Structure 1
């Protein structure tokens, strides 16, 4: 693939526990892999048993991924209550 067509995107999906942030991240990572991309995902959870924050932090690229980026290109906040955590 030429450099003009290469893709490298970092995104964060955040929300309260149970709203699907982690599931959405797993689905995106699986979809990227099925389409020939490389990726990695880090899951982040709060210490609360119920209703705490949850986040899926992803990086997807056409090249092998070795680490997360320092910043995110896209934030998908499933609720604003936990987006800033």
Structure 2
């Protein structure tokens, strides 16, 4: 009787230990997948925001380049006109 009580107590403790270990493993897997999903969503959001910001910067740089081109073109046309005026006045 004492032997069966000892083995019974050991088997209850063993079952409890196995159940606790299994719960920890399952909880670990669930935590890993939930964390992975959350981090994946966060990283996609960060990438989307960075792409939007890059597009704004790209458009701004294109606009700056166009403005610079128009300024250089205007300066060049002014220089050409000044030279033409000097030639005309030198001929007169």
Measured against the shorter chain, the TM-score band is: under 0.3
Q: Which has the higher helix share?
A: 2
TM superposition score normalised by structure 1: 0.24
Q: Which has the higher contact order (CA 8 A, sep 6+)?
A: 1
